Structure 1
Amino acid sequence: MRTRHLMALFTGVLILAIILPISLSIWQAARQAKMQFYRELDDYSNRIVVRTLQVADQAREALREADAHTGSSCSPEHLLMLRRIAYTHRYVQEVLWLLNSVPQCSSLEDHSVAVTFPPPDHIASDGYRTWLTSINDLGLNHQMTAMASQQHMVMIDPISFIDVVPASEEKIHTMLFGLDHLKMVISSQPLPAKVWQRIKDPHLNMLTLDNTVYRIQRIPELGSGIVTWSSTLPLQQHIRQQLIFWLPAGIFTSLLATWLLLRLLRHLRSPRNSMLDALNSQAIQVHYQPIISLQDGKIAGAEALARWQQPDGTYLSPDIFIPLAEQTGLITQLTEDIVRKIFADLGPWLRQRPEVHISINLSVDDLRSPILPTLLHDQLQHWGIAAEQIILEITERGFVDPETTMPVIAHYRQAGHRISIDDFGTGYSSLSYLQKLDVDTLKIDKSFVDTLEYRPLTPHIIEMAKALNLTTVAEGVETESQRDWLRQHGVQYAQGWLYSKALPKESFIQWAEDNLHAH
């Protein structure tokens, strides 16, 4: 993956690492608050259902006990039994004896008000009948829930069905209603009319309306329904409470993820990774600077120079990335990549122009590479190019340890390659054993060419090369006066901006062909 693509991906991941944990913590805080809100509402609604069933079961139990009486109706014994039933059953307020749906006596009065009860609001599957009624022996205008068997009736205060303390700190309201006629039995607070209209839907279990959540449950065996509801406005306070825990956790996670990603970024942006990415993405190109004969101006060859193109189109100086490749252990891989590109660029052309050579720079590490000799041999065979057309340039540092490097150089010479000392003169110690080196060409460094008239060492280098029968090439020739001086002193070849800068393959081939046709 190219570095810019990787960096774009990394930037996106970094942004997510900063935003996502905090966003998730806020989302989780809101989620927990909502879950708690709905859990408390559901819990309260379920407790109301349980209470309603408990009250109904107790009413049935009281009726069964009353129906078990076999003595005379409304006798002192009968009345005492009714009073005992009312006394021992928590939710039963009164027990009555009926004759043809007309109360005759009760646990409160020996003689009840003779009022005929209307048809029941609901008849259960077990035969028990229920009413919502204000009929009582005390003359009170108070709605009661009545449940009756064939002979007895119990009166229950509707508040018993919903007299449950919420576990929540927030206010939760509830209402008990009849399913058959949608009649309210008891409510802790008036239910809005538009909610009444909605709960007619038998499939509706949950409703959110006007910042309020309504929970609807139905008890078909009792013909009853229960609505519990609570405002969602306090949710914001609950969310803030949850944030006290979740937000620090999110911030910590975000900081930890950011720290880890920044460490990864430093690794990805390390010099070695940058160089490795450039090699893998083919960002390093090869340009060719012509080497010209000073006698007739004809091209003799070219030096292959690596160029690392940056994303903005500019080129990074080899003085920067070549030492970088050496320091990061990638110089051999870089050289192998350059060799492949040279043959891919110029293979067919070099086969047609056997008089032209290409100089390739080798580092000290390249001399230790077991792959490079084989690579050169295979490429020469593949393209049908003579080995003498590939000159290997080695800097003076490559000869510091002659016991190691000289056998390698000898192997290259036996294969047919010519050897050149690059940037000669930058290490004065080399002068003392130049005559011991098995080389063909000596390249005079640009620093000597720039100061030809002021550095007496340059003529000495040239004379020594002549004495050793070495070909000389001057680097960095930029003026005609430099050219003329070098030619007068016997230097055979030169390269520099006086002739041409380093060119891409197409431009170089065109330049070389024009030069060859002109000579």
Structure 2
Amino acid sequence: MSAFLAGLRQIFHRPWLLAAFAALASAILLLTGSVGVALQQMKESETAQMNAQGERFLERLEQVFGQLREGVDQLQALPLRGCDPAMQEALQQVSMNSRFIYEAAFVGGSVACSSRGGERALEPLRPPDIRGPTYSYWLNTTTEPDENLAALMLGRGQFLVSTSRGHLTDVVDLPPGGSLLVVLDHGTRAIPVLGPAQPWPPAANWPPPSAKDLLELSDRLIYRMPTKSPDYQLVLIAPRASLPLKMNGLLWLLFPGSVLVAICIGWLVLQLILQRRSMSSELQNALKRGELQVLYQPIFELDSRICVGAEALVRWRRPDGTLTSPDLFIPLAENTGQIRQITDFVLQRVLEQLGHLLRANRQLYISVNLAACDVMVPRIGPVAARLLAYHRVPASQIAFEVTERGLIDVVVARDNLQALRAVGHQVLIDDFGTGYCSLAYLQTLPVDCLKIDKAFIDALGHDAASSGVAPHIIRMAHDLHLRVIAEGIECEDQAELLNSEGVNYGQGWLFAHPLSARQFVELITRGRRVRSRRIDDEP
């Protein structure tokens, strides 16, 4: 298991292998997704095709039956009976005037005649498939593949009219093996009108409980078409499309696109890794060359406006004078483990720059931010003890700030933070309200102070949804006998409102921008506010 983890770790530390893995995984996902989309589109296409064929057939069947009924009604209304020339002419006239009537016939006892000549007449060989109060219907009166033979026949009294198979097939292009069936007797019997006979019922549980028109079986599709007549329903049955044959052409289009996108993803992953590796190397070199700087954000007592301490902030000024945002290099340092070096650097620089000031002002303190990796292991305590002993500064003048998001394991964090407090360090929770530290956990943590995030301070006095968060945090802190520091105070109204709510300390640009060590010493020793300083000013 350890060998496997070591090999996996080695792979993830090789940019080319990781990029190739990302490209391969992307290609598999893209091809799988593309095939799934293609299959879904094919199913939808089959459904639409079946629906269109069914609608066309149903429309044509209604037209055919309509003309058959009109023709047989005209013949029934004639006073003629028998097979004289007048009857022969009437039969031919009905057949010629109707598009869908292929043959009209009179059958009376032993006498029969047809519009197709002489006394030849089409006579049904079986009882009607549908017997209504006025009309009788015969379906598929022949199974021969001749389109000129009758497929549908309608009778009234002694008259018969029929249509040919060709009048139906000219609007419905059935696939090979497909059939159009007329379902009778409440679904127990089906007669093919077009196409070969099909096993009926098509499934064991027929009719199915589902109300869907299209039923998908493993080998065929069944489309049910409701009609206006309660005596019969129409069903279109077609074999399933040959998916592999159809998919091949589609896959040839999807494959190059998926591979190209996967290559682009792999290239982007490679560039991102190389960029992170490059920045990580640059950060390591910056630590060696002394490009990192420590600035100090003063913390003031809101009532007296006396500076009681400062938060140490790390900034990266490159040789060309540009600043790299902490939001960019701090998360990178946390991921690579370089944050420990940065924390040690900040702690050492604070004591080097302000050790004499802290020794002369025992009430003053400087807070240093701790990453999650230092909260979860007892490392920073011995480092701080060694530096404090060298600079002769008591532990009470160095506070440590942790974020709620850094409390990954509250039990472990509580033990390590308690060890820091036991030697005299203060513990502050930074950006409180933005993480997931509940009141139950907060009561068990060794904490001295809560710092309210700037986002909640900005919402004070507005109708924002978060405007009530800051007062709630303040009341909760007071109930737990904790001090409160408000971050990001930018106007006097905010300071006054917070002071009235019981907040005693604050920091923000209302009082001062981040200061260099020299400016912070001047602020403390001269007891006055120094010129506001932006973080991109020269130290």
TM class by smaller structure: 0.3 to 0.5
Query: RCO greater where, 1 or 2, for CA within 8 Å and sep 6 or more?
Result: 1
Structure-2-length-normalised TM-score: 0.45
Structure-1-length-normalised TM-score: 0.47
Larger Rg: 1
